[in-house]
Amino acid sequence: MKDDKQAMDTNSSADNVDEYLQTLGNEDARELRYYSQEQSFDSDELAKVVNEKRLNELLAQSDAFLSNLNGELKDFDKSTDN
Domain that holds residue 56: 43-82
Q: Are residues 34 and 48 in the same domain?
A: no
pTM: 0.39
Rounded Cα gap, residues 35 and 42, in angstroms: 17
> Residue 23: which of 13, 34, 12 has the closest Cα?
34
Q: Are residues 31 and 55 in the same domain?
A: no
Cα angle for residues 68, 73, 76 (degrees, 5° grid)? 130
Return the pLDDT at 4: 52
Output the pLDDT for position 48: 86
Looking at the fold, whether 8 and 22 belong to one and the same domain comes out as yes
Backbone φ and ψ of 26, nearest 5°: -90, 105
| 47 shares a domain with 30 | no
Q: Using the Cα atoms of residue 17, residue 34, residue 37 and residue 32 in order, give the sign of their dihedral.
A: negative
pLDDT along the chain (82 residues), means of 10: 53 79 71 70 84 94 94 79 60
In this predicted structure, what is the pLDDT of residue 67?
Answer: 93
Same domain, 50 and 34: no
Q: Are residues 30 and 15 in the same domain?
A: yes
